[in-house]
A and B are shown apart, each in its own frame.
Chain A
Amino acid sequence: MTNRPILEIENLSIGFRAYGQYRRVLRDVSITVGEGERVSLIGQSGSGKTVTMRTIIGTLPMPPGVVETGSIRYDGRSLLELSKIERNKLKGTGISIVLQDPMLSFNPVLTIGRQMDDIVRYADSRLGQNRSAAQRRDHIVQTLAKVQLSEGARILDSYPIMLSGGMRQRVLIGMALLNRPRLLIADEPGTALDVTTQDEILALLNTLVAEEGLSLLLITHNLGVVREMADRVYVMDKGRIVEEGTRDAIFTAPQNAYTKRLMAAVPPLYGPDVVTIENHHTDPNPAISIDSVSKDFVGRSGLFHQHRTLHRAVDKVSIDVMPGDIFGLAGESGSGKTTLAKMTLGLIDPTEGTIRVEGQDISQIAGTADFRKMIQIVYQNPGSSLNPRRTITDQIAVPLKFTGHETSRIKTRVGELLEMVDLPADMANMYPHELSGGQKQRVAIARALSVNPRILVLDEPTSALDVLVQSTVIDLLHRLREEFDLTYLFISHDLSLMRNFCNRVGVMLRGQIVEEGPVAEVFGKPSHAYTRALLSAIPVTTDEADAMKPIVTKEERAAVLNPSTAIGG
């Protein structure tokens, strides 16, 4: 590193005192960001990366937080020793931050213009400047132009809800840039957005760093993002920096065992490590047959709900899922994939078309015990799909109880199920909050399998989990499929995972299936522009995979995607 350091964290140790216990969350953390350098801090949830960030910007609540040792220096000045007033002067002008969730970072009842103006005004008053409202507005519009939002004036008069997620993220970056900071801290930028939008946001950040001469400290859990965004990388685990190095060193020759495990757990999109799953079943009768199914949702507006608007969530979709398939349904948020899954479970009725499960029309059999024994679901977030106030046994027992199992048999069956998903038997009497995220998802899988269904709908079952945990859950699902001869309908936005988990995929865009086929074909030779746009937007972890991504022209992209820079959409 040749540049002068702008941020130096040295031997920082931080603990929390809560409920009469003391727990150390950061241990001897040292991080340096040079002038104009892009540094990434990568770690899973609970690794301490957010605590590090909050300590830098001074928003860590103390108490309960306690700085044990260490220092943070910005531009040679020790931040932890500065007075509150001195430190506030650096906010926005020295160090600026882009937060993760573009919706939660705005006040929903104030216009964007008002919220941005506040930032400029307060910074002005801290620095003793005085600009007129018109000057400030000009400055804001210019800043918005930097984040490629050309309709600055219109955006200023909008409320946050009127902007798309991508635009909100851009405005948020614009806000961080308003007072010309030298160091930008980005906490999981674009993570809450669709992959195509995330891709645009990451490109924008890279451009800004290059053009504005910013330094960037990026905090993320996604290795693919790191590869695109960093010159140097710090890997954090359990409050310690376990490995540090240049991007190429970390990605080509990781030294630390944890880093290696992390790298291995990321499902590859392309390259020699890709696993292709095959279905050896020869049964010609589909397990699920979806025949030109559509679903309209009625929206009502007006004082007396007199205006009806129809929103077509699913549009003439036809899919056959064969026995033994792991059929992946890919698509971004709002593409209709969850609606389709709920129709398959008989939870909502299609407006048009028929769905057959094992040859039987589900409009006839939905709600019967026989239907429940055919098909079950695992939800995205086990924190929500498990009742926080009931024990694990109680929850797994519900499907058993209502499909006519004898009460005396239920207890043994729950034991069997826990063993099946590799959970210790003594978890039976625990409550969900005593379990980790991965364990909770195993319980949810056990519950779904309790009545021996032949088909499972998996609604993003790993998206709430860390990548290391994800790979263990995926392995479990593969094993269970072999063991019990299951068919999966897998819904996800994570195409890398899908490439390695599914044998067939369908890509959904605005309620329609735009492409469908075996994984190797769809990923190898994507025919639809949207599939190519999706695939090319995925951050991958090797140069090799990057080179193999499909090419999509600007025109093609524009034709299939809602741009994140225009109002509406």
Chain B
Amino acid sequence: MSAPEMIDAQRVLTSRQMAIYRFTRNPAALVGAVIVVSVVIAAIFAPLLAPSPESAGSFVDFRNRHAAPSWEHWMGTDNVGRDVFSRVLYGFRVSLGLVVGVLGVAVPFGVILGLVAGYFGGWTETIIMRFTDIMLALPPLAMALAITAVLSPNLVNAMIAITLLWWTWHTRLIYRIVKAQMNEDYVEAAQVAGASHFHILFRELLPNCISAIAVKISLDAGFVILFGASLSFLGLGIQPPTPDLGTMVATGAEYMPEMWWQAVMPGLAILYAILGFNLLGDGLRDMLDVEL
């Protein structure tokens, strides 16, 4: 055994330093982070990055239709001659918009219900949690199809449908964490100190749920993209000519297998984004040491 280097005066690592250490030693998490950042940049700067920004709309160029991938069109062109790569970049925009819209509503709603149910207990808990159970028992895709069919298919209604189903998971997660935290003395200590319910819910309990919420959001993002793409693929989500990855796969599927790039390229884009969010989520989970 070679004598290892000695550090006698120990630097005490803070939990943040330990978390960052764990994250940076996790190649999968780093890959996930890089992918997510690239998707976000693509979405934000799509008009600057896209070789043919006009392809995002109802632009047609029949001379160039069904062109195979080339230097000029990295991912080929579609049935009306639009550049698939440009449409994929804009497609990330739509997908991320969906993620922000859905989670922006579903997460706060679900988290607040979970906090309230876990903290107050009793009848409040019974009503909230049983309602959550009922929502969870509904088959999500069938529900979403029903809602978008009734409300007419478009981006906003797709968001509403997914949001209505999504909050339940956050309620369950937060409820479980709060129930465990209620056994800790700091909650009672805050009560003895005269703290309001608002203070205990949002200043004492919520900070102890943040890591779990962050991990859950990251893992959720991938699934929301997939769910939105599924709806679009079935024709009940975002409508043409808006460049949506799911719609692009559906349209491109008609020209399979000869003009494969029209369906496969947007499909790979979906895979890329979801893989990124999932790897990042797993990395965050290991880094923040939370159980989901």
Q: Which residues of A contact B (CB under 8 A)?
A: 15, 17, 19-24, 66-69, 345, 347, 367, 369, 372, 376-377, 379-381, 384-390, 394-395, 398-399, 401-403, 431, 433-434, 444, 447
Q: Is B13 an interface residue (CB 8 A)?
A: yes
Sorted nearest first, the 3 A-B pairs with minimum C-beta distance are A389-B207, A402-B194, A399-B193
Are the CB atoms of A23 and B204 closer together than 8 Å?
A: no
CA distance A447 to B188 in the complex (A): 13
- In the complex, chain A residues whose CB is within 8 Å of the CB of B207: 387, 389-390
Are the CB atoms of A387 and B4 closer together than 8 Å?
A: no
Instruction: Return A137 CB to nearest CB of chain B, in Å.
Output: 40
- In the complex, chain B residues whose CB is within 8 Å of the CB of A68: 1, 3-4
The one of B184, B196, B208 in contact with A402, judged by C-beta atoms closer than 8 angstroms, is B196
Residue among A17, A69, A388 facing the most chain B CB atoms (10 A cut-off): A388
- In the complex, chain A residues whose CB is within 8 Å of the CB of B185: 379-381, 384-385
Name the residue of chain B whose CB is nearest to the CB of A433. B15
Instruction: Return B188 CB to nearest CB of chain A, in Å.
Output: 7
Instruction: Return B33 CB to nearest CB of chain A, in Å.
Output: 20
Give me 22 A-to-B residue pairs in the complex whose CB atoms sit less than 8 angstroms apart, sorted by A's number.
Answer: A19-B21, A20-B21, A21-B7, A24-B6, A68-B3, A68-B4, A367-B194, A376-B192, A377-B192, A380-B185, A381-B185, A385-B189, A387-B208, A388-B208, A389-B210, A390-B207, A394-B203, A401-B195, A402-B196, A431-B15, A433-B14, A444-B189
Name the residue of chain B whose CB is nearest to the CB of A386. B186
> What 1/0 flags go to B190-221 for Cβ under 8 Å of A?
11111110010001100110100000000000
Name the residue of chain A whose CB is nearest to the CB of B5. A22
Instruction: Return A357 CB to nearest CB of chain B, in Å.
Output: 13
Q: Which residues of B contact A (CB under 8 A)?
A: 1, 3-8, 10-15, 17-18, 21, 184-186, 188-196, 199, 203-204, 207-208, 210
Are the CB atoms of A23 and B208 closer together than 8 Å?
A: no
Name the residue of chain B whose CB is nearest to the CB of A372. B194
CA distance A24 to B1 in the complex (A): 14
- In the complex, chain A residues whose CB is within 8 Å of the CB of B210: 389
Instruction: Return A41 CB to nearest CB of chain B, in Å.
Output: 23
Instruction: Return A72 CB to nearest CB of chain B, in Å.
Output: 15
The one of B11, B188, B193 in contact with A398, judged by C-beta atoms closer than 8 angstroms, is B193
CA distance A394 to B199 in the complex (A): 12
Are the CB atoms of B1 and A66 closer together than 8 Å?
A: yes
The one of A15, A372, A433 in contact with B4, judged by C-beta atoms closer than 8 angstroms, is A15
Are the CB atoms of B1 and A447 closer together than 8 Å?
A: no
Name the residue of chain A whose CB is nearest to the CB of B10. A23
Are the CB atoms of B186 and A403 closer together than 8 Å?
A: no
- In the complex, chain B residues whose CB is within 8 Å of the CB of A23: 7, 10
- In the complex, chain B residues whose CB is within 8 Å of the CB of A376: 192-193
Are the CB atoms of B194 and A403 closer together than 8 Å?
A: yes
Are the CB atoms of A398 and B190 closer together than 8 Å?
A: yes
Are the CB atoms of B186 and A387 closer together than 8 Å?
A: yes
Are the CB atoms of B4 and A22 closer together than 8 Å?
A: yes
- In the complex, chain B residues whose CB is within 8 Å of the CB of A401: 195, 199
Known: A21-B10, A402-B195. A379 touches B4 (CB 8 A): no
Are the CB atoms of B1 and A434 closer together than 8 Å?
A: no
CA distance A379 to B196 in the complex (A): 20
CA distance A434 to B18 in the complex (A): 13
Instruction: Return B9 CB to nearest CB of chain A, in Å.
Output: 11
Name the residue of chain A whose CB is nearest to the CB of B186. A387
Name the residue of chain B whose CB is nearest to the CB of A342. B188
CA distance A394 to B5 in the complex (A): 40
CA distance A546 to B99 in the complex (A): 71
CA distance A69 to B6 in the complex (A): 14
Residue among B21, B184, B196 facing the most chain A CB atoms (10 A cut-off): B184
CA distance A12 to B272 in the complex (A): 52
